[in-house]
Structure 1
Amino acid sequence: MPKPAERRFFRADVAVPEARSFLRHVLSQWDIIDRSDDALLCLSELTTNVIRHAVPQGGYFLVAASLIDGRLRVEVHDQSGRLPHINCPDAEDVSGRGLLLVDALADEWGVQPHVPSGKTVWTEFKIETRQEPASGVIAC
């Protein structure tokens, strides 16, 4: 099982592609291609929400990834107590669909509030793991 990975990002528009690049690199290191597009899109939505709604100017957020029991978990940590919620945008609205996408793509997602402040918004994806053949066994 690979060691969890995490990285801090400062609030800036470039943080979204930087966070995606970070996760893409981690998934590559872990040899995960199954569900990587879903995980990357969900991370984009969560980091966009953090930048727009949760992190003050000059602040930062943390992205963490772990792999446990065939599940990829991607987390976004911030210091805001403001909890995300799913919107019901009209057809004319140009934003407000991020958590709808997360809800549709992730196998599970949720929010864990922190005391005294902050939260973690997490997503999980069931993934196929490569099974290594037992020592001395030749794969067909």
Structure 2
Amino acid sequence: MLAHPISASIARRCVGRTLTAWGRADLVECAQLIIGELVANAIQSTADVTAAGADLVAPGGLVESQPGVVGVGLYRIGGRVVLEVWDRSRLPPKLVNPSMEDVGGRGLLLVDALATVWGYRLSAIGGKVVYATLDEAA
């Protein structure tokens, strides 16, 4: 999907519908919060990568520009649900403790609190995949 702010909302809706269709409505709220945060982080990471390459000039003096994309995956392994988000950045996600004055930086704290397990891996196609799992007891 395009790396656009509306994409987090689209991903939340898709995850909610899919989990409900799978008979896992018990996980919808947590999964929607997690996927929203992961997609928002991926959009930011994609924007950072795009900005870093913005000074690359194509022949003829034109700056090559294409919208960034992020990938979203949702699948089951036994009773566990796995949420994944891919972005072009290879930089690992950072779990930080923001101060009370900080405007952002709390998304991965939420993911850490809700997910059974979360982490990342580098992707064979470039970039990284950040994943989170939810078990039946979530």
Q: 1:132 aligns to what?
A: none
| Structure 2 stretches lacking a partner, 5+ long | 51-65
**1:14 aligns with one of 6, 23, 26:** 6
Match of 2:96 in 1: 87
Q: Deviation of residue 116 (structure 1)? A: 6.1
Matched, 1:49 2:41: yes
Matched, 1:125 2:134: yes
Does residue 29 in structure 1 map to residue 21 in structure 2? yes
Provide the TM-score with structure 1 as the length reference. Answer: 0.80
Q: CA RMSD in A?
A: 1.5
Cα distance in 2, alignment partners of residues 31 and 103 from structure 1 = 24
Task: Normalising by structure 2, report the TM-score.
Answer: 0.81
Identify the structure with the greater helix proportion. 2
Aligned to 1:100: 109
Superposition deviation, residue 54 in structure 1: 2.7
In the TM superposition, residue 43 of structure 1 has moved relative to its aligned partner by: 0.6
The CA distance in 2 between the partners of 1:81 and 1:18, in whole Å, is 24
TM-aligned CA distance change 1:80 to 1:88, over 3 Å: same
Note the alpha carbon deviations across 1:9-48, whole angstroms, 9 max, x for none.
Answer: 1011111101111111111211111222111101111111
**Does the residue aligned with 1:35 lie in a helix, a strand or coil?**
helix
Q: Distance in 2 between matches of 1:82 and 1:125?
A: 24
Query: Once the two structures are superposed, what CA deviation does each residue of 1:72-97 show, in whole Å capped at 9, x if it has no partner?
Result: 00100122212111111001112100
More strand by share: 1
Which of 112, 123, 135 is the matching residue for 2:121?
112
State whether residues 80 and 135 of structure 2, in contact with CA within 8 Å, keep that contact through their aligned partners in structure 1.
yes
Q: Which of 72, 87, 107 is the aligned partner of 2:81?
A: 72
For residue 89 of structure 1, what is the amino acid of its counterpart? P
